[in-house]
């Protein structure tokens, strides 16, 4: 081991020693989903039902999470309602005082099941909206009558007395519908609306040329959202996630690597971020190791924890504890170096790559979608 490797090891050990507990958990219960959105954040290689953790292992993971200090669990997928043991998970988490949020496409839900989940202690539902135009909605999810179904489900959620967030991923095919999406959220009495530009990992990276909107249209949309946020203060909480491709600085990805959030994939792999499998790292599995040992001692968790791993320009940058150097997955995907500054940053020597990719993606008519399907990889 040479001197620099020793220093690196000491820095990583000290970052691990100063880590606090995770506050949130993303539990990806399954990759199965009736929809096939081309921007899905699931990996290209999707897992089959037989590869998923069984009920007992998930319950053990949730119990360990509560002991570790997790305060809220986001039950996600794929489509989490395809797990018939979902009610058991919600009850177990609620009995430990953990806040539960169900992230769903909604089309599989019935009024009875929503009521049952509420009775088990579910705290919140986040319902995705593909588009406000029925034809575009069906085209994006490759699922018939999706919008009609989702509007009914949104009403059932409110009737069950559960808080509702509408989650509207934005891209080239629906960006001009933002005003109508805001109106719909008001009509449905949603508590929160998330207008989030697609993040280009997983299936979205494969479909980037079909999905990325041009800069001028993004500016128009940002103005619409900005005006609505002001006008609807106290009525509707609007969160807006902008596209990295036109950014000056990157987002503080996950609020810092392995800082607040822990993710478990359907087969039990434990990750610091849901997209981290794209990085050349080894991940532990909750089937083999206690969750606390993975969070505090796992190699992948300590790889980018803290600020000591950074190279220039991040290492001496005054923004390094604001954005933590941005997204490791994006840095690796575009530069081949997972320690590089996120190219979304205007200070990165690779920033020009973002502009070049955006220019070539938006220069011509969008190609057809590559739909998300098990086995498509």
Q: Which residues of the chain form contacts with ligand SF4 (CB under 6 A)?
A: 33, 35-37, 40, 42, 77-79, 105, 128, 141, 249-250, 313-314, 317, 319-320, 323, 325-326, 341-342, 345, 347, 372
Query: Which one-letter DSSP state was computed for residue 227?
Result: H
Token output for 150: 């989702």
Residue recorded with tokens 């080239």? 172
* Degrees to nearest 5, angle at CA 111 with 103 and 157: 50
Smallest gap from residue 128 Cβ to ligand SF4 (A): 5
Taken as a whole, the chain contains a residue count of: 377
Smallest gap from residue 134 Cβ to ligand SF4 (A): 16
CB 345 within 8 A of CB 250: yes
Between 177 and 199, whose beta carbon lies closer to ligand SF4? 199
Secondary structure (3-state) at 331: helix
Smallest gap from residue 342 Cβ to ligand SF4 (A): 5
Between 240 and 324, whose beta carbon lies closer to ligand SF4? 324
Sign of CA dihedral 82, 370, 276, 24: negative
Between 87 and 339, whose beta carbon lies closer to ligand SF4? 339
Smallest gap from residue 204 Cβ to ligand SF4 (A): 9
- Paired strand residues for 343: none
Q: What ranges in the chain are assigned the alpha helix state H?
A: 3-17, 55-68, 86-95, 111-120, 134-141, 146-159, 178-187, 202-206, 208-211, 215-231, 291-297, 299-303, 320-323, 328-335, 351-362
Q: How many other CB atoms are found less than 10 A from the CB of residue 30?
A: 23
The phi and psi torsions of 231 (rounded to 5 degrees) equal: -65, -35
Smallest gap from residue 370 Cβ to ligand SF4 (A): 12
Between 35 and 147, whose beta carbon lies closer to ligand SF4? 35
Beta strands in 146-199 (DSSP E): 164-170, 192-197
The phi and psi torsions of 259 (rounded to 5 degrees) equal: -105, -50
Smallest gap from residue 64 Cβ to ligand SF4 (A): 25
CB 193 within 8 A of CB 237: yes
Between 61 and 345, whose beta carbon lies closer to ligand SF4? 345
Between 44 and 232, whose beta carbon lies closer to ligand SF4? 44
Q: Is the peptide bond preceding residue 78 cis, with omega within 30 degrees of 0?
A: yes
Between 250 and 268, whose beta carbon lies closer to ligand SF4? 250
Smallest gap from residue 267 Cβ to ligand SF4 (A): 16
Between 24 and 250, whose beta carbon lies closer to ligand SF4? 250
CB 213 within 8 A of CB 176: no
| Cα–Cα nearest to 270, from 292, 237, 239 | 292
Smallest gap from residue 372 Cβ to ligand SF4 (A): 5
Between 40 and 212, whose beta carbon lies closer to ligand SF4? 40
Q: What's the rounded Cα separation, in Å, for the pair 181 and 187?
A: 10
Smallest gap from residue 318 Cβ to ligand SF4 (A): 7
Q: What's the rounded Cα separation, in Å, for the pair 22 and 70?
A: 6
- Paired strand residues for 176: none
């Amino acid at each position: 081991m040479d001197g620099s490797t020793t220093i690196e090891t000491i820095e990583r050990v000290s970052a691990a020693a100063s880590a606090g507990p995770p506050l949130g958990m993303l539990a990806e219960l399954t990759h199965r989903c009736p929809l096939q959105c081309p921007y899905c954040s699931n990996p290209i290689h999707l897992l089959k039902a037989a590869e998923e953790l069984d009920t007992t292992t998930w319950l053990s993971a949730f119990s360990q999470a509560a002991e570790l200090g997790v305060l809220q669990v986001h039950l996600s997928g794929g489509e989490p309602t395809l797990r018939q043991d979902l009610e058991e998970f919600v009850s177990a988490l609620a009995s430990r005082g953990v806040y539960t949020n169900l992230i769903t496409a909604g089309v599989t839900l019935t009024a009875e099941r929503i009521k049952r989940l509420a009775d088990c202690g579910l705290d919140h539902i986040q319902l995705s909206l593909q588009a406000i135009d029925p034809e575009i909605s069906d085209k994006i999810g490759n699922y018939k009558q999706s919008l009609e179904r989702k509007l009914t489900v949104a009403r059932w959620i409110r009737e069950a007395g559960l808080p509702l967030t509408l989650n509207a991923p934005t891209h080239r095919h629906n960006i001009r519908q933002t005003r109508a999406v805001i109106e719909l959220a008001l009509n449905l009495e949603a508590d929160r609306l998330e207008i989030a530009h697609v993040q280009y990992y997983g299936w979205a990276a494969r479909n980037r040329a079909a999905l990325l909107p041009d800069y001028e249209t993004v500016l128009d949309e940002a103005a619409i959202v900005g005006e609505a946020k002001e006008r609807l203060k106290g009525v509707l909480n609007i969160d807006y996630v902008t596209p990295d491709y036109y950014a000056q600085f990157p987002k503080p990805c996950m609020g810092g690597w392995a800082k607040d959030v822990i993710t478990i994939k359907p087969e039990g792999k434990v990750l610091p971020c849901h997209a981290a499998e794209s990085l050349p790292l080894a991940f532990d599995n909750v089937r083999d190791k206690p969750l606390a040992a993975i969070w505090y001692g796992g190699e992948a968790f300590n790889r980018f924890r803290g600020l000591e791993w950074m190279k220039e320009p991040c290492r001496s940058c005054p923004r390094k504890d604001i954005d933590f150097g941005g997204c490791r997955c994006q840095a690796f995907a575009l530069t081949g170096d997972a320690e590089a500054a996120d190219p979304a940053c205007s200070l990165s020597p690779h920033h020009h790559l973002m502009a070049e990719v955006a220019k070539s993606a938006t220069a011509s008519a969008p190609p057809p979608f590559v739909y998300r399907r098990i086995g498509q990889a």
